[in-house]
Chains A and B, each alone.
Chain A
């Protein structure tokens, strides 16, 4: 019997604070990681702000959960897609975002990049290709 591995795509569309969507999505990803599925994360529109560096939440009384994204590699989440047009529209580049990596146990724990910049067209194809899309 073969186990069914499904392609899960978590689509993150909202800014990190102000709504609970970003944190909820991250929690679901971390919990879902226990089920050994094929997991991808996508960040589009204001969702790209979730990964920006140097977040400071002291003024809004919420926990700064941005350090948690760096743990995704530990949870075997290695495919993180950022939509280029969303960055461009907000005057951001990849340099404004955290550098996320995963460690390859089979390659002497070498750090490998998790983030991949994709075009809107490629993002559409990723959504088409996924078995399940969770939109947050």
Chain B
């Protein structure tokens, strides 16, 4: 089902991930989070932007385990745990954060 972002209709797959990563703009995360009744804070954007950088560099979405470790390294050890990430993204960093970031479902998401 396509989503409406700033007057544009963007294609998504059956799980709600963007069909084309190049369609992404910050408005995508805004629209998706509104549907989930979640208000995005700077902490959410840190994760979303990090995921986009990771994809840009490695061409994959990181597994949750990998993301957790990287967040701890980049934003402080107190944030490098799944409790912190699930606090921000209750549906899970993979299902929610990657989706907001326009990434495909993470490889290694078992």
Binding site for B on A (CB under 8 A): 27, 30-31, 33-34, 63-65, 67-68, 70-71, 74-75, 105, 109
Complex Cα gap A105–B33 (Å)? 34
Which chain B residues in 62-79 approach chain A with CB under 8 Å? Answer: 62-63, 65-66, 69-70, 73
Measured between beta carbons, the chain B residues less than 8 angstroms from A65 are 59
A31 adjacent to B60 (CB under 8 Å): no
Determine how close the nearest CB of chain A comes to the CB of B91; give it in whole angstroms. 19
Query: Number of B interface residues, CB 8 Å?
Result: 14
Pair count A-B, CB < 8 A: 38
Measured between beta carbons, the chain A residues less than 8 angstroms from B65 are 34
Binding site for A on B (CB under 8 A): 57-60, 62-63, 65-66, 69-70, 73, 107-108, 110
Report which of B58, B70, B110 forms a contact with A67, defined as CB distance below 8 A: B58
Determine how close the nearest CB of chain B comes to the CB of A133; give it in whole angstroms. 21
Given contacts A30-B108, A34-B108, contact A75 B59 (CB under 8 A): no
B110 adjacent to A74 (CB under 8 Å): no
Report which of B58, B73, B108 forms a contact with A33, defined as CB distance below 8 A: B108
Determine how close the nearest CB of chain B comes to the CB of A32; give it in whole angstroms. 8
B60 adjacent to A71 (CB under 8 Å): yes
Determine how close the nearest CB of chain B comes to the CB of A125; give it in whole angstroms. 30
Known pairs A33-B108, A68-B58, A74-B69. 13 more at Cβ < 8 A? A27-B107, A30-B63, A33-B63, A34-B65, A34-B108, A64-B59, A65-B59, A67-B57, A67-B58, A70-B58, A71-B66, A74-B66, A105-B69
